[in-house]
Amino acid sequence: MFEIVKQWYQNKFSDPHSVTLLLMLIALVGLLYFLGPFVVPVLVALVIAYLLDWPTAHMQNVVHNRVLATTLIMLLFVGVVLALLLGIVPVLWQQLSNLLQESPHMIEKGKYFLLHLPDDYPNLITEQQVQSFVTTVESKVIELGQVIVSASLTSLKDAVAWLIYLVLVPLLVFFMLKDKATLTEGIGRLVPKDRRLITQVWHEMDHQIMNYIRGKVFEIVIIGSVTFIAFYILDLRYAALLGALVGLSVLIPFIGAALVTIPVAAVALFQFGIDTQFWTVLIVYGVIQALDGNVLVPLLFSEAVDLNPVYIIVAVLFFGGLWGFWGVFFAIPLASLVKALFNAWSTQWQEGESVSLEQ
């Protein structure tokens, strides 16, 4: 066993390039793990800068000035964000407040529905099973309420930090876009001059990350808008809030869609009962999810994601456990990075084997 591990190590890491790349990755992971909360503004700025780099480059071709192009794109971006904050966020906040006020009544109605199931289906479910389930749900609701209250108090404490981030992040994005060439050159000085393996991995990941971030933004907007329109046509309450939740759920592959099904089904059940309209809402929601997974995702991410669903779920759980929301958001790019590393090391090992055979 030891000989197998030793041979694998010699094959993969006998080249100094491999060791350098591995050490850089370990240092980066350690930096993010121990200083994660402090570098959040930088991560957010990097995501936005990746998103805006493509339109900035095209604008630069028109105005022939990087600073002017960056300024115009940033003004447009800030304008869109302000329009969303002033136009959509108040509607979502109002619907969320109404939903929270109505939730006790919804819970009581759901409890009444469950307690009468043994009378309607005595051969399928017993009163003891229903009572046990209701007790469990009530305890979980109480725990959730405590978590929400605790999170609200914490968010109040962090309000000043968020205000500072609202100023720092746009400034970071502006300078990242304006000084992209200078920053890239500076980072290049920190790595060895002979960096063939690092360059190979970086070029592959740079293209994938850009496509992934841009694709995710388009997916959120498309799925959220389509869901809102569908729920609005079906006269479902809180259509805007549920549409936003469904749109944001695509940030967590597979798991997000399953979690958001709960509020969608709960609102539909409370409003329509077990009726044709209830099943229509669930069918429409299922069709949207099916089209997202089988049509939209392949179109948007055909060049960015080539991973088995099992690897994606494992990546979401692993990186989400390490870095929370940002770990979930970057789970697929990070999994792609791991894949790119193994591909690079395998290619290098095969080249080394070919050279050895020729000699």
Each residue's pLDDT tens digit, 116-146: 777 777 777 777 777 777 777 767 666 666 6
Domain boundaries, the chain: 195-351
Higher pLDDT: 354 or 57? It is 57
- Higher pLDDT pick, 337 / 10: 337
Indicate the Cα dihedral angle 67, 73, 78, 84, nearest 10°.
-170
Lowest mean pLDDT among 110-124, 189-203, 259-273: 189-203
Predicted confidence at residue 355, as pLDDT, reads 47
Q: Please state the separation of Cα 321 from the chain's center in Å.
A: 13
In the prediction, which pLDDT does 254 show? Answer: 74
| Highest-confidence segment of 81-85, 152-156, 187-191, 349-353 | 81-85
pTM strictly above 0.75: no
Q: Tokens 């876009």 map to which residue?
A: 177
Per the CB < 8 A criterion, the answer to whether 51 and 169 are in contact is no
pLDDT at 174: 92
pLDDT tier at 204 (50, 70, 90 boundaries)?
Answer: low
Give the amino acid at 123. Answer: N
CB neighbours of 230 closer than 8 A, spacing ≥ 6? 284, 285, 288
Q: What is the mean pLDDT of residues 147-163?
A: 61
Q: Do residues 199 and 191 make contact, with C-beta atoms less than 8 angstroms apart?
A: no
Average pLDDT over residues 215-243: 91
How far lies 170's CA from each of 17, 81, 102, 339, in Å? 36, 11, 38, 32
Range with the largest mean pLDDT of 169-183, 318-332, 345-359: 169-183
Average pLDDT score over residue span 333-355: 64
Per-residue pLDDT at 240: 92
- Predicted local confidence at residue 231, as pLDDT: 94
Give the separation between CA 355 and CA 351, rounded to whole angstroms. Answer: 6
**32: its two tokens:** 């993010």
Interval 27-53: pLDDT, tens: 776 776 676 667 778 878 888 888 888
What average pLDDT does the chain have?
A: 77
